[in-house]
Amino acid sequence: MKKGFLLNSKISYLIANMGHKDMLAIGDAGLPVPFGVDKIDLAVSRGVPNFLEVFDAILSEQHIEAVILAEEIKEKSTKMHHEILSRISKIRDKDNVKIDIIYKGFQGLLQQTKGEKVFIVS
C-alpha cells in the first residue's frame, strides 16, 4: 500500500511519467478541458475536494518549475491568491529552488491548458 500523501493512483502514475517542462492543470468543474488532454475528475460536489486540497496533494509529489495563474485571481480571489503564493514561497525556501509565478488573462489561460499533459478537475 502506498505510504505517501497522494493516494490517487492515476494522478500518481501521471506525475511519475511527467518530464521536464510537462504541464499539469488544476481547475474547477466549470473550466473547459481541451479535447485530447487527459482529464481526471475528482469533483464530488461543488468545492469538494477544494482547489487547495488538490494543490497540496500535487505539491507533495511533484517538483514544479512554474505556476501559471489567471490574472484575475489578484482581485477576484485575493485569499486564494495569497494561499497559493504562500505555499510556493515555502517550497522555494525549503528546497532552495526557483519557481516562476506567471499570470495570464483568462483567455490566455484557456489557451495554455491546450498544452497540458493532464487536467485535474476539483
Write down all domains in the chain, each with its CATH number in brackets: 9-121 (3.40.1650.10)
Task: Give the pLDDT score at 115.
Answer: 77
Task: Give the pLDDT score at 32.
Answer: 83
| Residue ranges for the chain with pLDDT beneath 50 | none
Q: Which of 20, 63, 81, 82 is catalytic?
A: 20
Task: Give the pLDDT score at 1.
Answer: 55
Q: Which long-range contacts (CB under 8 A, 24 or more apart) does 109-114 make?
A: 109/68, 109/69, 109/70, 110/31, 110/32, 112/23, 112/25, 112/68, 113/25, 113/27, 113/31, 113/32, 113/33, 113/34, 113/37, 114/34, 114/37
Task: Give the pLDDT score at 29.
Answer: 81
Provide the whole-model pTM.
Answer: 0.88
Task: Give the pLDDT score at 76.
Answer: 95
Task: Give the pLDDT score at 3.
Answer: 64
The answer to whether residue 82 is catalytic is no
